[in-house]
Amino acid sequence: MASTYNGPWPARRIRDEFFAYFRSKDHTFVPSSSTIPYDDPTLLFANAGMNQYKPIFLGTVDPNSERGKLKRAFNSQKCIRAGGKHNDLEDVGKDSYHHTFFEMLGNWSFGDYFKKEAITFSWELLTQVYKLPKERLYVTYFAGDPQNNIPCDDEARKTWLDLGMDPAHVIPSKLNFWEMGPTGPCGPCSEIHVDRIGGREVPHLVDCDDPTVVEIWNNVFIQFNREENGSLKALPAKHVDTGMGFERVVSVLQNSGARPYTGKFGAEDVDGIDTAYRVVADHVRTLSFALSDGGLPNNVGRGYVLRRILRRGCRYVRKKLGAPIGSFFSSLMPAVVEQMGDVFPELRKKQDEIKEILDEEEESFSRTLDRGEKLFDQYATRAKEAGSNELSGADVWRLYDTFGFPVDLTRLMAEELSLIINEKEFEAAQERSKEASKGTFKRDKADSVKLDVHDLAALEKDDAIPKTDDSPKYQLGNVTAKVKGIYCNREFLGSTTSIPDSANFGILLDRTSFYAEAGGQEHDTGNIVIDGACDFKVTNVQMYSGYVLHTGHLKYGQLNVGDEVISSYDELRRWPLRSNHTATHILNFCLREVLGDHVDQKGSLVAPTKLRFDFSHKAQIALPELAKIEVMSVDWIKKNVKVYGKDVDLKSGFKIPGLRAVFGETYPDPVRVVVLGYDVDDVTKDLENPRWRNTSMEFCGGTHVAKTGDIKDFVIIEESGIAKGIRRITAITGQEAQEATRVANEFKSRLDVLETSSGNEKDAGLKVLTVELGQADISVLVKADLKERLGAIRKAFDKQIKEKEAAVNKSAIDTLVAYFNENPNAIGYFASIDVDGNSKTLQNVVAQGKKLGKAVYVFSVNAEGGKVAHANYMPENVREKGFDARTWASKVTEVLGGKAGGKEDSAQGVGVNVGEIENAVRIAREAYPISK
């Protein structure tokens, strides 16, 4: 798309010089955090360099941790701004400085240096290292907010002027105040802008969204905390948070206007090709980084944002660059890895996985892009012919609902034709669709559509409705078909015109690409469509004696028997089903290899998110054997052997050594045989060859991957008994397996931290981790290891606590005994003792006083709980004077608050006024009758 830059400032050198400069200033390099902020649910993506330092700014970081010890830091943070509060998606390509993915070069000070040093560092780097002309730099500083009693940032202004900046280039701004949120750390900031042209005076263009004067660096001075009442309170430790947009400084230093592509924007970019170059370059970076950090395109949250980005990019590639799509973005991805893999090694590590995900998504969208664009053209033509510049919102919703066109993509296409979208109609259509889906879900559960014996008898006699050819289910992509039957309320109809809106009914086709539920594999979902005229949402697919019934509801339009339609299954649902089905075959084979030939399949489930396999085995599988089964299964995936499937006659099939079949199952003749690594034709030529025993070979009508490597990963998450002599294994593959591994690694890290912690923090952490670990869907093997380690840490901690309590208990008792040995005539022992509010220790001290026949009143503060435990003993000779232990405790409670109770000779309580403990000891002594 662009020639290699050969000037003095290649991107890598710019980054390396930034790193070298801040290393020379005693800053610590901190690797970029993930673009997927797993530990911060408030963010869709990491959108700023400071995200991973929030615990430091908020004061919640463990001071003994590595992060808690940081004073000065620098890095290049991977950021994505697409969705949520910071969203640059729709501006990408329109100018040279908006990106969905960008690197943020940053340096930080945590209670160390402040404004003068931070400003000086940025000035030196830009003017002395990068050699930017000083006269082309402009800075802004906070002008103050008298209304809210926030002063002008004169310190920042003075620092810039002391560095020699032209006063006309130092500009006050009321916008220069940065806040993390409605409450929390905040402070003024000072932005650095650069004039990309030079040789002129342009302070009036600063902060005006002019493409020739762009902000490249921001110094944020975190010196206040925004309180709940809105007031600002000075922070005891002041911090610096800076960020310089890597892409922006590269474009400035490389003078990126001179590119092989024409570099045109807006109306000047007549054919939109330059915009397309910029969009594609941005989007391939965003997708590569997000996927390397575990992001996944899907229909929810950040996953939907990633899907939108890919589909938006695909449309630019096809429409503007005229390139075929299906594997376009994955073909560019190696360039991203080559340029950035050294700094971000996760790109290299995940390169193959990124390619597979990109290709899955792109190939899936490619099959509907042409059809959707043609439909959009029809909608646009219809609007223009009617003299309108407005697209129907209902039509825009159909483009999304049927063809997966995100509304922002349709909006972009509309803008190219000077059209707008009727947003109210779009929202109304979206709401109607949601309501219809809710109704369909209820009907699916309560009143599913089924063909009974009478319906099947009628079909057998009706030559106009043949049995369904479902062989296309083994191929990729859609097929054209004809409607042969419409089934509703136990009747076969010729048209849908009499069927109520959103009612559930069934469709029979002459041929279908849909997989009907069978052999444990869940059914497909998708659409039966006449482009622009009708969309039938398929929510269930079942086979009845050779007739495939597609159940669902009409989203719009009408269907008639004889209509030609497109049978379009949901490829993104089918993909993991294929993986899990082939993985089930692998598991079946490995179970036999490890446990023995007695293992027989007793049931299975193949769902998009997991697989479940029931089999005969008398005892629980020991962890070493389970590990062997999992490793062997993963090895089959790594071998990446081809998966073959073909029909053979049933009698021949049963002759194949090692072929697996479900006992008692009735198979068709011919029957489909699925084999790993060997062509079925080769097998049938030499049916009884013993080498077939060395691979997985099964009778199976399910859908499978093309090669085992497509499964990506395999993790066993559960092994259990479901009946006498029958065990069950639940496993996950692909992205689910990799997510389980990420979660397991997170548990390991948390356990590492807990191991080095102590006291109440350790106790609470162990309790939480025990509960969460028990509920986690992670590897059963890793879970067993973690539980064992957790148990060992708990045992050691409990022992440590017990020993500490015993030592503290002995010390407290010894102190009381020593006191009375030194003061044999003392009337009693009144003291605050350091046992962290342990009431059991207090009782033991009181018991020792009782043995000695001495009065005792002891107190102890639990600082963390904000409580004071107290306990007493009153000898009998004092009680005879009419003053008992309960009355004594009530006197103390008047000061400490809380409650107290007990018997005549001994009472105890818990107070809440921690600061009154010395007062309480005094009152206990003065209230004791003999002391008066």
What are the Cα distances from residue 367, in Å, to 3, 403, 476?
Answer: 32, 9, 10
Nearest by Cα to 139 from 127, 151, 150: 127
Strands, E, within 632-709: which ranges? 643-648, 671-676, 697-699
CB of 731 closer than 8 Å to CB of 610: yes
- Torsion angle, CA of 22/28/34/40, rounded to 10 degrees? -110
What are the phi and psi torsion angles at 470 (to 5°)?
A: -105, 20
The Cα–Cα gap between 643 and 35 comes to: 36
The torsion angles phi and psi of 897, rounded to 5 degrees, stand at 75, -170
585 assigned to a ligand binding site: yes
Question: Interior CA angle at 424 toward 419 and 427, to 5°?
Answer: 110
Q: First vs last Cα of the chain: how many Å apart?
A: 96
Q: What is the DSSP letter of 126?
A: I
Q: Map residue 525 onto helix, strand or coil.
A: coil
581 is in an annotated binding site: yes
314 annotated to bind ligand: no
Give the DSSP letter string of 5-21.
P-SS--HHHHHHHHHHH
Q: Identify which of 622, 534, 522, 629 has the alpha carbon closest to the alpha carbon of residue 586.
A: 629
Q: How many CB atoms lie within 10 A of CB 626?
A: 19
Closest by CA to 286, choosing from 18, 509, 100, is: 100
SS3 244: strand
Least Cα distance to 532 among 432, 382, 418 occurs for 382
**Residue 703 token pair:** 């859908």
Type of residue at 641: V
Q: Was 590 annotated as part of a binding site?
A: no
Closest-CA residue to 918 (of 868, 854, 872, 845): 868
Q: What is the CA radius of gyration of the chain?
A: 36
- Contact (Cβ atoms closer than 8 angstroms) between residue 107 and residue 73: yes
How crowded is residue 184: how many other Cβ atoms within 10 Å of its Cβ?
16
Structure tokens at 436: 């219809």
CA dist., res. 350 & res. 35, Å (int): 14
Cite the annotated binding site for Zn(2+) by residue number: 581, 585, 700, 704
Sequence ranges of the binding site: 581, 585, 700, 704
